Amino acid sequence: MNEAPASPIGQPLDRVDGAAKVVGRATYAGDFAPQPASLCHAVLVQSTIANGRVVRMDTGAAEAMPGVLLVLTQRNAPALPQKGRAAVKPPAGREMSLLQDDAVRYNGEPIGVVVADTLEHALEGAARVRVSYAAGQPELDFERAKASAYPPKAGGTHGPADKSWGEGASAMDGAPVRLAATYTTPMVHHNPMEAHATVASWQGPKLTLWDSTQHVSGVKETVSKTLGISADDVHVISPYVGGGFGCKGSVWSHVVLAAMAARQVGRPVKLVLERPQMWGPVGGRPRTEQKVELGATREGKLIAVRHDVISHTSSFEDFVEPSAQPTQALYSYPNGATTQRLVKLNVGTPTFQRAPGESTGTFALECAMDELAYRLGIDPLELRLSNYAEAEPDSGKPWSSKKLRECYRQAAQRFGWSRRNPVPRSMCDGPWLVGWGMATATYPAHRAAANARATLMPDGTVLVLSGTQDIGTGTYTVMTQVAADALGLPVELVRFDLGDSTMPQAPGSGGSMTAASVGPAVRAACLALREKLGHERAWQEAKDAGAQRSALRAIAAGRPEPLAADGQDAPPANDKQPYATRSFGAVFAEVRVDPDLGVIRVPRIVATYSVGRLLNSKTGLSQLQGGLVWGVGMALMEESLLDPATGRFENANLAEYHVPVNADIGEIDVTVVDEDDTNFNSLGIRGIGEIGITGITGALANAVYHATGQRVRDLPITLDKALGIAENRNS
């Protein structure tokens, strides 16, 4: 017998789909053209008021245009079950705008669809629709609306609105040192390179949707129930997604509207959102106001913590940004209390945006910890180490695995933290003020039930299928590695495919759970296939990939039916889960601030993470780096500006909504500690898609304070705030 080859898991394998993307062979939703000669194009007609109703829509000029096939409005849209409200639980089933009534609830809400033979004709047709409204008074003022803030219903992803343990907030009164501050984060919006896109085609009663989605099975379920048709009659295909970050995790109005329009015109319809339409009808991160209060001994031991969160939602549906969740888990203290309240505004319903709650919440908590460290005269790193949580604070459960101490030690050493002069404005490089800040990163470890199938193909390769998605994170690649490892085959003899609702069902790609959920199912399927092949020794004794393939081809040829095996994996029920499951990290950041202009530069970021085992060291570190880059944007640039008079976003384009570019990013030094969390799943892995954007905003804000002496508690940290000439809440 030959020695077993080294496991492909953890190796820096190039993306197996990389070449297809580089040369343009990768087909995204908007690239599909069923029946090209008859393919139509659809464009949304959107409201221009924030509250009221449509009195009249004059569609005559649009309908008279050459090439226009349909102007779909409330007047001629088919009646849908439940008036178009999805018959599934949010967030998969949002309350959509499907032309079932004349209500207008936010500026930019879909109120019509124009379908034409070309995109140009559809755009011109949409521009010619004239709408008359009976306008009502919208609520667009967050500060004023706070008077009517209310607790969300318990359940969902956020848990109860209020939570406390120990003596709760009452223990704060006896703390020798108390710190209270308010931190805010603005509305921001996703901007994946690929905007939302759907192509809909009917063949009799059967609907095929090519959709840019983070959950192919979720689209199948939601669309079938919303339209009132059998789920067996809906087929969803999504082989490539050009970024999602949460906005493509739910089914939004345009998906169902495309299907409705396609059925009405009897031809395939393509509907691709324009870039400005990414603001409003497909969600975004809600605004938050967070009050954090810390009570501690003079030596820095936390006695009590309180975190009160207010975030906005739409006037017609609740969405919760659970910003207090990291406070419930990150540090050890005996008494805690967190609350969550919602404010209704006349805007589109917010949604998940990379690390929802955790990214906004760690900004507030980690800035408060930095402020407490300065109040006590204690090094910010030492303060965190002295309050290290050996178990989950509120439940007392042990962690499935946690190596945050090693993260602190490694990252601090690489960054050179011990050389930091703690006095604000004490470090300079020529004319630049230099600031060093740090913070803790964290994100929950999630899993869900997943299925996979492995099949020996006639050509001697193995095809592995799971109905998951690759939203740019490398799922094709890491699942190929998992399968090859379980089968004992080189990766070139394994092909992994995904993105089709006819494949074995898998969960949505959100909550950083795709790899942790689908990976064990793929492993189970491949181990089951390997067991079926167990008595066939030739393929295992082969000396190279060519010989193995020949042996497997011979095995396949000798069977009347393909040899296949299914695999499943699911987490235990919550009440049977013995461990608390989270990932952690330590983030250190350096900023340079121009003392005259307030310009902020970020020359370097150093971070180390405790995230379990990495499936691919190249794609894994890339994911973490990408989160840090987004954190630079969140901390210093991103803000969606809502016009208080009209409710329309003033900067709904990439010219005025600023995101980081290459010139904004300096050195990023990212590592992970050696870890194998088999208490969490059989592969020892935890998700890494979102933890990279947690902690980094706090580290940058703390670095700006160290550089300037100006404590900025309101994101983004623009140059006027760094100079202290802009209004800064609670300063």
Please state whether the peptide bond connecting residue 716 to the residue before it is cis, i.e. omega within 30 degrees of 0: yes
Query: Using the 8-state DSSP alphabet, how is residue 593 labeled?
Result: E
Residues 590 and 560 in one domain: no
Q: Dig out the tokens for 170 from the structure.
A: 């009452």
Give the whole-angstrom CA distance, residue 620 versus residue 675: 14
Domain boundary among 515, 550, 570: 570
Give yes or no for a contact between 476 and 247, defined as CB atoms under 8 angstroms apart.
Answer: no
**pTM of the complete model:** 0.97
Q: Is 690 a catalytic residue?
A: yes
pLDDT tens per residue across span 267-322: 999 999 999 999 999 999 999 999 999 999 999 999 999 999 999 999 999 999 99
Query: What sections of 59-99 are H helices per DSSP?
Result: 60-63
CA atoms within 13 A on the CB side of 704: 29
Mean pLDDT of the chain: 95
Judge residue 386's burial from the number of C-beta atoms within 10 Å of its C-beta, 0-12 exposed, 13-18 middle, 19 or more buried: middle
Mean per-residue pLDDT for 391-395? 89
Q: Which of 266-275, 400-409, 530-539, 708-717 has the lowest average pLDDT?
A: 530-539
Q: Is the pLDDT score of 93 beyond 80?
A: no
- pLDDT band, residue 170 (cuts 50/70/90): confident
Say whether both 582 and 644 belong to one domain. Answer: yes
Cα 187–chain centre separation: 15
pLDDT at 274: 97
- Residue 337 pairs in a beta bridge with 164, 306
Hey, what are 25's tokens?
């062979």
- Specify whether the CB–CB gap between 476 and 619 falls below 8 A: no
Strand positions, DSSP E, 556-713: 564-569, 582-593, 600-610, 667-672
**Which domain range does residue 60 map to?**
32-137+197-243+248-278
Higher pLDDT, 574 or 227: 227
User: Do 219 and 125 belong together in one domain?
Assistant: yes
Tell me which residue of 296, 297, 298 sits closest to 306, measured CA to CA. Answer: 296
Nearest to 696 by CA among 725, 717, 722: 717
| Token representation of residue 111 | 């109120």
Q: Is the pLDDT of residue 89 over 80?
A: no
Asked whether the beta carbons of 533 and 457 are under 8 A apart, the reply is no
pLDDT in tens, 604-639: 999 999 999 999 999 999 999 999 999 999 999 999
C-alpha span between 58 and 132 (Å, rounded): 8
Q: Is the pLDDT of residue 1 over 50?
A: no
User: Is the previous residue joined to 595 through a cis bond, with omega within 30 degrees of 0?
Assistant: no
Rounded Cα gap, residues 367 and 371, in angstroms: 6
Q: Is the domain of 688 the same as that of 591?
A: yes
Burial of 655 from C-beta contacts in 10 A (0-12 / 13-18 / 19+): exposed
* 237, 242, 246, 252: CA torsion to nearest 10: -50
Q: With H, G, I as helix, E, B as strand and everything else as coil, classify residue 288.
A: strand
Task: Assess whether pLDDT exceeds 90 at residue 3.
Answer: no
Three-state secondary-structure class, residue 126: helix
Beta bridge partners, 564, equal 455
Let me know: does 725 contact 596? Beta carbons within 8 Å: no
pLDDT of 241 reads 98
Which of 109, 124, 293, 690 is flagged as catalytic?
690
Cβ 341 vs Cβ 310: under 8 Å: yes
Are residues 386 and 505 located together in one domain of the fold? no
Question: Residue 178: inside a domain, yes or no?
Answer: no
For residue 273, being part of any structural domain is answered with yes
Tokens of 460: 């001697």
Which ranges constitute the DSSP H helices of 650-726? 696-708, 719-722
Among the listed residues 589, 588, 591, the one whose alpha carbon sits nearest the alpha carbon of residue 425: 591
| 388 within a domain of the structure (yes/no) | yes
The contacts of residue 299 (CB under 8 Å, 6+ apart) are 376, 386
Q: CA-CA-CA-CA torsion for 70, 75, 79, 83, nearest 10 degrees?
A: 120
3-class DSSP assignment, residue 258: helix
pLDDT at 75 over 70: yes
- Residue where one domain finishes, among candidates 523, 544, 570: 570
Ranges of H-type helices in 181-328 = 216-227, 253-265
Number of separate domains in the chain: 3
3-class SS at 216?
A: helix
What residues pair up with 449 in beta bridges, in sequence order?
A: none
The band of 153, judged by pLDDT with boundaries at 50, 70 and 90, is: confident
Task: Among 520, 544, 570, identify where a domain stops.
Answer: 570
The secondary structure element, H or E, covering residue 385 is: helix 380-386
pLDDT score of 406: 98
H or E element that contains 619: helix 617-636
CA nearest neighbour of 484 among 535, 522, 541 = 522
Name the band, by pLDDT with cuts 50, 70 and 90, for residue 155.
low
Query: Which CATH number covers residue 22?
Result: 3.30.365.10
Residue 630 shares a structural domain with residue 527: no
- In whole angstroms, what is the distance from residue 269 CA to residue 263 CA? 9
d(CA 278, CA 232): 31
CA distance 70 to 114: 6
User: 492 and 559, same structural domain?
Assistant: yes
Q: Is residue 605 part of a domain?
A: yes
pLDDT at 244 over 50: yes
- The 10 Å Cβ neighbour count of residue 4 is 8
The pLDDT value recorded for residue 394 is: 80
Task: Let me know if residue 592 belongs to a domain.
Answer: yes
What would the two tokens of residue 717 be? Answer: 């940290």
Nearest to 156 by CA among 252, 87, 92, 213: 92
Percent composition of the chain: helix, strand, coil (DSSP 3-state, to 5): 30, 25, 45
The H-or-E segment that residue 539 falls in is: helix 538-541
Percent of the chain past pLDDT 70, that is, above it, reads 97
Q: Has residue 59 been placed in a domain?
A: yes
Cα distance between residue 203 and residue 317, in whole Å: 34
What percent of the chain has pLDDT above 90? Answer: 91
- Looking at the fold, whether 432 and 551 belong to one and the same domain comes out as no
Are 517 and 638 in the same domain? no
- 571-581 pLDDT tens trace: 998 778 899 99
Is the confidence at residue 692, as pLDDT, over 60?
yes
Residues 551 and 672 occupy one common structural domain: no
Q: Are residues 545 and 471 in the same domain?
A: yes
Measured from the Cβ of residue 667, the count of other Cβ atoms closer than 10 Å reads: 10
- Say if residues 577 and 571 touch (Cβ distance below 8 Å): yes
Q: Parallel, antiparallel, or unpaired for β 432-444 and 428-429?
A: antiparallel
Verify that 224 and 107 share a domain, yes or no: yes
Cite the beta strand spans of 374-472 per DSSP E: 428-429, 432-444, 450-456, 462-465
Question: Which token pair is 637?
Answer: 């640039």
The residue with tokens 């010219």 is: 655
In a domain, 144, yes or no: no
Contact 570, 692 (CB under 8 A): no
Is residue 156 over pLDDT 80?
A: no
| DSSP annotation of 328 | G
- What is the total residue count of the chain? 731
Strand-pairing partners, residue 206, are 203
Tell me, yes or no, whether 331 lies in a domain.
no
According to the model, what pLDDT value does residue 94 have?
A: 82
